[in-house]
A = this chain, B = another copy of it.
Amino acid sequence: MNKPMPDKSVHTVWHRATVTRQRREKKNAHKSVVIWFTGLSGSGKSTLAHAVEEQLHQRGLNTFVLDGDNVRHGLCSDLGFSDQDRKENIRRISETAKLLLEAGVITLTAFISPFKAERSIARSLMPYGDFIEIHCFCPLPVCEQRDVKGLYKKARLGEIKDFTGISSPYEEPENPDLRIDTNLLTLEQSVQQVISLLQARNFLSAAE
């Protein structure tokens, strides 16, 4: 039998090449993962996420932090703070985190993300094991006393509606991958806890 002639039409020349997440991880020599920080306003999510990123970056890893600073004025600039908009906010952030995960980036998200249902959806979007939920725990009175952005004061005065902890619920994670008491630990201790978890789960070793 003759071998079939190779098809030289434009269509077969224009075949689809695919760089996969696996190939990116191999090139990067590390796996990607989504590290999802949740907690009250003022509990230290964003600060901790950036401090963990600093450590990972210094180890040569590809990292990115999604937080209010780079999402609320961009991707989610059309959204407010109603329950529906908060849900859509978290949905878009989850989908974006998934894209970054696929791009081989260790992605840290720092949003209050007060509702269990939305955090569950975020987790369900990622391949099993690639979503790490970290609860930044800090008692409400301490967060309110810190009030770094002056938001609690405004919420108490009724100037901000649906403010988590004051006029909107925060549903605590029952089984987070890690719970960090940011009122008792220093930033360095908190960072170390996250790094230790990543090490224990083999995210900081070379990808296979």
Residues of A whose CB lies within 8 Å of any CB of B are 10-11, 13-19, 23-24, 27-28, 44, 46-47, 50-51, 53-54, 57, 60, 62-66, 70-71, 74-75, 78, 88, 92, 95-96, 98-100, 102-105, 125, 146, 148, 182, 186-188
Contacts and interface: CB of A to CB of B under 8 A. Distances in A.
Contacts of A54: 17-19
**Copies of this polypeptide in the complex:** 2
Nearest to A142: B10
A89 to B, nearest CB: 12
A57 B19 contact: yes
B95 A74 contact: yes
A124 to B, nearest CB: 13
A62 B146 contact: no
Given A66-B99, A99-B70, A60 B17 contact: no
A14 B105 contact: no
Q: Which DSSP category, helix, strand, loop or mixed, fits chain A's interface? A: helix
Contacts of A57: 19, 23-24, 27
A86 B69 CA distance: 26
B19 A103 contact: no
B103 A100 contact: yes
28 contacts: A11-B146, A13-B187, A14-B44, A14-B182, A15-B47, A16-B46, A16-B47, A18-B50, A18-B54, A19-B54, A23-B57, A24-B57, A27-B57, A27-B60, A62-B104, A63-B103, A64-B99, A64-B102, A64-B103, A66-B99, A70-B102, A74-B99, A75-B92, A92-B92, A96-B96, A100-B100, A103-B103, A105-B105
